[in-house]
Structure formats: structure tokens, C-alpha cells
């Protein structure tokens, strides 16, 4: 079905523009408020539909040239939502999304704090490898690989390394992975760097342990790019959408890099979680420091390698971090030792399983929650309520999960929501990082 004329009236979670036609809400990607378009319905439901732009008749305020062929392609790259918007408009739209979702808490909302960088801010990327050893980013809701010359979100050297790696793999007759047939070798190229891009870890995700002429590839890539401090071959034998497998082989150097946050030196394993935008994480930590005092005993839940807790460790009395991944706990312990902290310890285990035993003997003043996008399990939220920890600092990468979880924490006025601050961790996308501060009523 074709809609001849549709006006985009607002933005929706997910980054789509929203218009209305014959009583239905129509969601359209890569549109801005004020756009007038012709659109083709792609998915139709009872009260809403999704559509694609056929033609723009008028563009809204803040629309600019994207300067990315992959974003403008007919089957567009899924790495960005709003590359066609100037940065001021992106920030304004994120504030609008938060105001719409948190209508009842609107008076507590601060503005969205911009990123220090709009472009080349990401310190990590995994790019799928496809036919003829092409690489890129998946299209939205698809496993079609959209190639790019140079991504505007990650450092240019990442694509320089990937280009040269593909040349070496061609010479070595390395086969790209075929997702449908579950055949071939190279599945993904992973790249991680530290803040000044002086250290890079290269990850080659393969279907099997056999990587033809691996030492020749290693020699060639490290000679061209001496900032590569380690090359890991990760082996993922399963037919799955999960990128990393359980096995790995160190082909060169080390499987970690050293980065700096809040004047601390952190050891980051190639699997470990680390916020992709370091400058925005510094903004978040500066706000968090105002929320804790020198005598506070703090639990850092879902702590990863301890980035948040250890960045606050010099400001507090005692820190206990909880993290499911044992490798991340080892990194956190190493970082605490290297930075001379004696007031921090870490527990390996699922937060939901560790927390109840911990709070029997540890009377925390503050708990930091930084869960995955899915949010905190309801059982864990009720356990926190029962423990009656005086203050919660909840950092969320999903406003929807946060909104749901706050309903439990504030139910029956157990906790009082004090503030909601938004941060732009992911420029050129609709995604929003939010810090909620709650206090026991």
C-alpha cells in the first residue's frame, strides 16, 4: 500500500518518525519532524504500521546531508538512525523522547548532556564478514551486510585495518562464513581500542580453529599497524546469531588493552564490557561523584571490570562489586591492585543469586545498578527494596527498561525518585543513556 502524502509529527522510541493515516500510527525510519513524504507500507497491524520512504516532498528542520553512502543506500546500514540530523536536533529529539516516556516524572528530567564527540567516538566494533570477504554493518532487521568506505562512528583506523586484513585473507584463501550453509571460516572482525587509539586488539571470529596462513596474516597486519597489541582468534562453531564463541586462541601479543578513566588505569579483556564512549562516561561519573560521600559503603552491581565502582573508590569508604563474568572480575581485581585500592573487592556470580547473602553482612549505603539493556530482574528489584539500601544510582541504556523497573522500586513509595539525567552515549542513533537517582522514603 502506498501513502501519497504523510506528515511526520513526532519521534518515537526506536528512532522512527511518526505520522498518522486513516486512524493508524505510521512509523517511518530516517525521517524528521516536519517531513512530508510518500511512503510504502511494509508491515501493517491493527492500529499501527511500518513504512519506508518513497519520496521526500519536504524536509523538516535540522535535516542535513548524511555524508555516508551506507546510510543513504537503498538497503541502509543499521549502525545509525539519525545521521541525517544536525547534532543539536539529535539532542533535542532525545530530550523529547524522554519527556514523552517519563510524563509523570517530567519535572525531574534534566536535559540530555551531549557527547564530547559526535563522530569516531566508538572504541569497539564487530563487523560481519560476507561474500567475497566484504565486511560492514548489518542492515536494519536483516543480516544483509552493508559495506562502507569509512564508518563515521568508529575510528578511521578500524576500517584501514579491516581493509588490509581482507587483502591478506584473500591472498591466504581464507573463506568468508556463509550463514545459510554454516560453512566457510571468517565470521566477524572485532576491533577494540583505548582512549587515544594507541592500543588496539584485533579479534578474528572464525567457525573453526583452522585459519589458513594465520602467522603470515598476523605478521603482515602487525607490521602495517604497530598499534595492534594483540590478535585473538575466537572460535564460534555454533549456528547462532551470538557473535563470540566459548573458545579462543591468542595469535599475537596480549588479549587485553590498557585504557584510562577518571585518571585510573584499567585492564580491559577483549570480552569485557567497557562503555563505548569514554568521554560520555566521564560526564556520567562526574555526576555520580556528587551522589556519594566519603563514608559510603557501595555495592556496584553488574560491575563488569569495575569501571564505575573503582572510579568512585577514592571517594568512598568501601566497595563491593558483583559481576557474572569471571574474566571481568579478574580484570577488576587487577585494576584495583594496580591502582592501589585496598577498599575494593569483587564477587563472581549472578547479582540475583549473590545479593541476598551479601547484604546480610554488608550494610550498604549506596547500590549502583548498570544492567544490560533488558534491565534488572523483578526478583532482584524486590530484594533491593527488602534490603532498604538508602540510595540507588541506576544507570540504564534502555529508557523503556528503566521506566518499567522504576515502577517496582517506587511502588508504595518505597523509594523516591530524585532525578533523571540523560547522556548521549551513542550519537547519530536514537539510543539514550540515563542515570536515575532514588532515595529510600
**Mind listing the domains of the chain with CATH numbers?**
2-61 (2.40.50.140), 124-259 (2.40.50.1070), 266-440 (3.40.50.150)
Those residues of the chain that have pLDDT short of 50 are none
DSSP sequence for 340-370: T-SSEEEEES-HHHHHHHHHHH---SEEEE-
In whole angstroms, what is the distance from residue 17 CA to residue 31 CA?
A: 5
pLDDT for 6 equals 97
In whole angstroms, what is the distance from residue 118 CA to residue 425 CA?
A: 10
DSSP sequence for 160-215: HHHHHHHHHHHHTTPPBPBTTTTBSSEEEEEEEE-TTSS-EEEEEEESSS--TTHH
User: What pLDDT digit, counting tens, does each position of 316-341 carry?
Assistant: 999 999 999 999 999 999 999 999 99
Q: How many CB atoms lie within 10 A of CB 61?
A: 12
In whole angstroms, what is the distance from residue 364 CA to residue 407 CA?
A: 22
pLDDT for 141 equals 84
pLDDT for 178 equals 94
Beta strands in 34-185 (DSSP E): 36-44, 48-58, 109-113, 124-130, 134-135, 137-138, 145-146
pLDDT for 140 equals 86
Q: Does the pTM exceed 0.85?
A: yes
What SS3 class is residue 408?
helix
- Give the DSSP H/E element, type plus range, for residue 25: strand 24-28
Rounded-to-5 percentages of helix, strand, coil across the chain? 25, 35, 40
pLDDT for 431 equals 97
User: What pLDDT digit, counting tens, does each position of 142-190 carry?
Assistant: 999 999 999 999 999 999 999 999 999 999 999 999 999 999 999 999 9
- CA 392 vs CA 354, 361, 436, 437: distances in Å: 18, 19, 8, 6
Amino acid at each position: 500500500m502506498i501513502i501519497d502524502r504523510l506528515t511526520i509529527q513526532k519521534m518515537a522510541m526506536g528512532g522512527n518518525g511518526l505520522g498518522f493515516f486513516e486512524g493508524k500510527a505510521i512509523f517511518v525510519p530516517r525521517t524528521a519532524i516536519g517531513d512530508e513524504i510518500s511512503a510504502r507500507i511494509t508491515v501493517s497491524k491493527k492500529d499501527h504500521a511500518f513504512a519506508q520512504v518513497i519520496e521526500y516532498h519536504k524536509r523538516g528542520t535540522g535535516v542535513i546531508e548524511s555524508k555516508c553512502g551506507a546510510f543513504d543506500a537503498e538497503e541502509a546500514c543499521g549502525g545509525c538512525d539519525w545521521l541525517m540530523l544536525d547534532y543539536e536536533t539529535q539532542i533535542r529529539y532525545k530530550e523529547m523522547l524522554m519527556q514523552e516516556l517519563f510524563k509523570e516524572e517530567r519535572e525531574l528530567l534534566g536535559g540530555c548532556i551531549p557527547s564530547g564527540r559526535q563522530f569516531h567516538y566508538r572504541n569497539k566494533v564487530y563487523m560481519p564478514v560476507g561474500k567475497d570477504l566484504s565486511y560492514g554493518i548489518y542492515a536494519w532487521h536483516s543480516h544483509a551486510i552493508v559495506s562502507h568506505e569509512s564508518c563515521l562512528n568508529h575510528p578511521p583506523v578500524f576500517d584501514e585495518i579491516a581493509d588490509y586484513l581482507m587483502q591478506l585473507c584473500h591472498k591466504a584463501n581464507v573463506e568468508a562464513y556463509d550463514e545459510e550453509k554454516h560453512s566457510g571460516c571468517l565470521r566477524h572482525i572485532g576491533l577494540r581500542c583505548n582512549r587515544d587509539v594507541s592500543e588496539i586488539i584485533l579479534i578474528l571470529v572464525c567457525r573453526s580453529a583452522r585459519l589458513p596462513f594465520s602467522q603470515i596474516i598476523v605478521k603482515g597486519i602487525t607490521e602495517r599497524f604497530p598499534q595492534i597489541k594483540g590478535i585473538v582468534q575466537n572460535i564460534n562453531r555454533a549456528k547462532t546469531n551470538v557473535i563470540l564463541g566459548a573458545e579462543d586462541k591468542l595469535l599475537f601479543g596480549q588479549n587485553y588493552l590498557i585504557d584510562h578513566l577518571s585518571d585510573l588505569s584499567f585492564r580491559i579483556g577483549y570480552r569485557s564490557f567497557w562503555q563505548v564512549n569514554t568521554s560520555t562516561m566521564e560526564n556520567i561519573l562526574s555526576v555520580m561523584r556528587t551522589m556519594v560521600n566519603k563514608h559510603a559503603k557501595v555495592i556496584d552491581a553488574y560491575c563488569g571490570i569495575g569501571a564505575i565502582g573503582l572510579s568512585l573508590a577514592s571517594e568512598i569508604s568501601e566497595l563491593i562489586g558483583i559481576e557474572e563474568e569471571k574474566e571481568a572480575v579478574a580484570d577488576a581485581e587487577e585494576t584495583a591492585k594496580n591502582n592501589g585500592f585496598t577498599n575494593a573487592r569483587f564477587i563472581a556470580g549472578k547479582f540475583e543469586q549473590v545479593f541476598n547473602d551479601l547484604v546480610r553482612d554488608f550494610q550498604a549505603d549506596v547500590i549502583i545498578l548498570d544492567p544490560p539493556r533488558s534491565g534488572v530482574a523483578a526478583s532482584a528489584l524486590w530484594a533491593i527494596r527488602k534490603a532498604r539500601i538508602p540510595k540507588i544510582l541506576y544507570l540504564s541504556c534502555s529508557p523503556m527498561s528503566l521506566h518499567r523497573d522504576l515502577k517496582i522500586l517506587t511502588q508504595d513509595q518505597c523509594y523516591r525518585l530524585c532525578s533523571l539525567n540523560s547522556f548521549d552515549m551513542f550519537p547519530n542513533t536514537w539510543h539514550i543513556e540515563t542515570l536515575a537517582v532514588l532515595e529510600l522514603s
